[in-house]
């Protein structure tokens, strides 16, 4: 299972995260996001893609981003560490905590992540919400691995295979992406994985109809997983 974070496991937990990205742009490229950056779409996109769009609006050339990408990733992580709330447990999506407690010890399932968040930011967030324990370090596909979310399920399957499948990439047909946006659905389709959408983020159920299953929230997820197999 490849869980998305924002809008799926955690709701409205992205304020400090957005502030950290802006602080990192300021630190690394000495730019202020122009007013027009408010129109940049964030839901379901990677941190790198969002940062690149803001820089383009601020007049920074794309190759400048490539040159200092690692500095940006590091700066955004340390700003997030400074700005994040100590406790994000009040942002947990309905039923997320109980669901993960059941899945973490389940012999049939393996929990991993596909998120546009930078890897360390994702782990800090989940830790502050008390739900980091099902997610092994080094597993998942993150916004720090690629700008393009469509690349992330495949990256996560390769890593899962190293831990749980004798070094062979975990098969796409035994993989389910769980997310809250059409981009989560698209990345699963691009990888040949299954996808369950939850309408707990900015999109209503009818906007997520391309998923294999659409749920109001995570309560019925296990039943949905059974229906896919």
- Rama region for 35: left / alpha / beta (φ>0; ψ in -120 to 50; rest): alpha
Least distance in Å: CB of 116 to Mg ion? 7
> Of the two residues 170 and 203, which places its CB atom closer to Mg ion in the complex?
203
Instruction: Return residues touching Mg ion (CB under 5 A).
Output: 4, 6-7, 180
Q: Residue 151, Cα to own-chain centre: how many angstroms? A: 12
Q: Residue 196, Cα to own-chain centre: how many angstroms? A: 15
Q: What is the C-alpha separation between 213 and 215, in angstroms, rounded?
A: 7
Using DSSP, state whether 139 is helix, strand or coil: coil
> Of the two residues 7 and 13, which places its CB atom closer to Mg ion in the complex?
7
> Of the two residues 60 and 96, which places its CB atom closer to Mg ion in the complex?
96
SS (HEC) of 99-136:
HHHHHHCCCCCCCEEECCCCHHHHHHHHHHHCCCCCCC
> Of the two residues 147 and 180, which places its CB atom closer to Mg ion in the complex?
180
> Of the two residues 4 and 191, which places its CB atom closer to Mg ion in the complex?
4
Q: What is the C-alpha separation between 55 and 14, in angstroms, rounded?
A: 20
Using DSSP, state whether 33 is helix, strand or coil: coil
Least distance in Å: CB of 8 to Mg ion? 5
Sign of the four-CA dihedral 155, 158, 160, 163:
negative
């Amino acid at each position: 299972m490849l869980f998305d974070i924002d809008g799926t496991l955690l709701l409205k937990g992205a304020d400090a995260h957005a502030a950290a990205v802006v602080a990192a742009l300021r630190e690394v490229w000495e730019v202020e996001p122009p007013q027009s950056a408010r129109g940049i779409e964030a839901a379901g996109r990677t941190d790198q893609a969002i940062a690149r769009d803001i820089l383009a609006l601020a007049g920074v050339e794309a190759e400048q981003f490539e040159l200092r990408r690692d500095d940006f990733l590091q700066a955004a992580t340390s700003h997030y560490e400074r700005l994040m709330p100590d406790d994000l447990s009040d942002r947990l999506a309905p039923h997320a905590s109980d669901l993960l407690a059941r899945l973490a010890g389940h012999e049939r399932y393996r929990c991993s992540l596909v998120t546009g968040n930078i890897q360390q930011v994702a782990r800090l967030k989940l830790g502050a919400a008390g739900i980091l324990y099902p997610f092994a370090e080094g597993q998942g596909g993150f916004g720090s691995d690629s700008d393009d979310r469509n690349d992330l399920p495949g990256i996560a399957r390769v890593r899962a295979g190293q831990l749980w499948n004798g070094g062979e990439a975990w098969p796409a047909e035994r993989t389910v992406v769980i997310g809250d946006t059409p981009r989560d659905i698209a990345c699963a389709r691009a990888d040949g994985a299954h996808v369950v959408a939850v309408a707990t983020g900015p999109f209503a159920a009818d906007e997520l109809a391309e998923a294999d299953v659409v749920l109001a929230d995570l309560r019925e997820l296990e039943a949905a997983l059974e229906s896919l197999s």
